[in-house]
Amino acid sequence: MTKPEALQGSRGLTVIVPCYNEEGGVTQGMKDLIDVVSGLGLPFEILAVDDASEDRTLSCLEAFGDGIRILRNPRNMGYGAALKHGLRKARYDFIAITDADGTYPPEHLPDLVKLVVEEGADMAVGARTGDKVAVPMIRKPAKWFLGRLANFVAGQRIPDINSGLRVFRRDAAMQAYTLYPDGFSFTTTITLAMMTNGFDVRYCRINYLKRIGRSKIHPIREPVNFVLLITRISLYFAPLKLFVPVSLGLVALSIAWGLASYLLLDQFADVTTLILFVTGLQLGVLGMLAEMMNKRLHQDFQKRSW
């Protein structure tokens, strides 16, 4: 794994834009983005990370000359890998991320920047709950389920778990750098990592437009990956929330099974009852051990300095 570069502490904004086969909309998208960011009154840079595009995306980016910085991945490594590449190379201490497909209107960026730079939030996320939201119907059921699961893990309501438009402090984000995946789950991970660690995460409503070009998200594979990801993150950040419900459920089931066996078969502690009860207790103990290890790991983790 490539080690992140030392934090420079330069007050300014780095906008990271991962690009993969976006020749249809990247030129206009970059023009609009430059216009908006230029008016923020902050030193800034735009990092376009080309993830080994197979079309004319790189040529479109190179046409901007010194207006943007271009980073290139040696092969198609994924959305999260492109963002991590940008994080490692960023010059400034505030980071914004957005997409190159025209879905996130850049005019929402000033509101997000204000929340972080002026009001002191650790991260500001654009929640896709505005007046114009073009989320494909096929993705809505999975998005709803993932949102409820994430709310449970975080212990609070999350308006948008995986929005790709956000602004955050680089030093805060780097505390969980080793957890960030290379795929589309990057945004889900950074959201839960910050919210379960007590960072100040705020939301504001944004529009979400129809994308230009073909979506890179697989409608079945990615939701499954998101569920697995949230399970892994809950083990790392909130293990009791995963172990305790299962533990209590098995203990309750063992008691119910035992009562049913006693009433119907005149025997209480049969093998099934004992297995369910002991398994439930073991999971409860594992949950407490995981929670103790989790607190120790977090203390060590937060002492790290990049």
User: Domain ends where: 183, 202, 236?
Assistant: 236
Same domain, 115 and 262: no
Residues near 246 by beta carbon (within 8 Å), at least 6 away in sequence = 280, 283
Q: Could you read off the pLDDT of 84-106 as tens digits, one per residue?
A: 999 999 999 999 999 988 899 99
pLDDT of 306: 44
Instruction: Find where tokens 């083990």 sit.
Output: 235
User: Could you tell me the CA-to-CA distances from 209 to 2, 15, 19, 229 in Å, in that order?
Assistant: 34, 20, 17, 26
Same domain, 273 and 207: no
User: Residue 262 — pLDDT band, cuts 50, 70, 90?
Assistant: confident
Q: Could you read off the pLDDT of 159-210 as tens digits, one per residue?
A: 998 899 999 999 999 988 988 989 888 998 899 889 888 899 999 999 998 8
Q: Is residue 130 part of a domain?
A: yes
Count up the domains in the chain and report the number.
2
User: Domain ends where: 236, 262, 282?
Assistant: 236
User: Domain ends where: 236, 261, 282?
Assistant: 236
Q: Could you read off the pLDDT of 36-54 as tens digits, one per residue?
A: 999 999 999 999 999 999 9
Same domain, 226 and 288: no
Same domain, 211 and 282: no
Same domain, 259 and 114: no
Distance CA 96, CA 100 (A): 13
Pairing of strands 123-127, 166-169: antiparallel
Q: Is residue 157 part of a domain?
A: yes
Which CATH number do you get for residue 114?
Answer: 3.90.550.10
Q: Is residue 85 part of a domain?
A: yes
Q: Is residue 3 part of a domain?
A: no
Structure tokens at 1: 């794994």
Same domain, 74 and 146: yes
Nearest to 183 by CA among 139, 224, 148, 214: 224
Same domain, 158 and 246: no
What residues pair up with 168 in beta bridges, in sequence order? 95, 123
pLDDT of 1: 44
Q: Is residue 5 part of a domain?
A: no
Q: Could you read off the pLDDT of 2-14 as tens digits, one per residue?
A: 545 545 558 999 9
Per the structure, the complete domain to which residue 48 belongs is given by: 13-236
Same domain, 29 and 53: yes
pLDDT of 189: 87
Distance CA 77, CA 99 (A): 16
Same domain, 68 and 190: yes
Same domain, 112 and 252: no
Mean pLDDT over each residue of the chain, to the nearest integer: 86
Amino acid at the residue 134: A
User: Residue 153 — pLDDT band, cuts 50, 70, 90?
Assistant: confident
Same domain, 32 and 94: yes
Q: Is residue 281 part of a domain?
A: yes
Between 228 and 64, the more confident residue is: 64
- In this prediction the pTM is 0.80
Q: Is residue 41 part of a domain?
A: yes
Same domain, 116 and 228: yes
pLDDT of 302: 57
User: Residue 28 — pLDDT band, cuts 50, 70, 90?
Assistant: very high
Q: Is pLDDT of 25 > 50?
A: yes
Q: Is residue 19 part of a domain?
A: yes
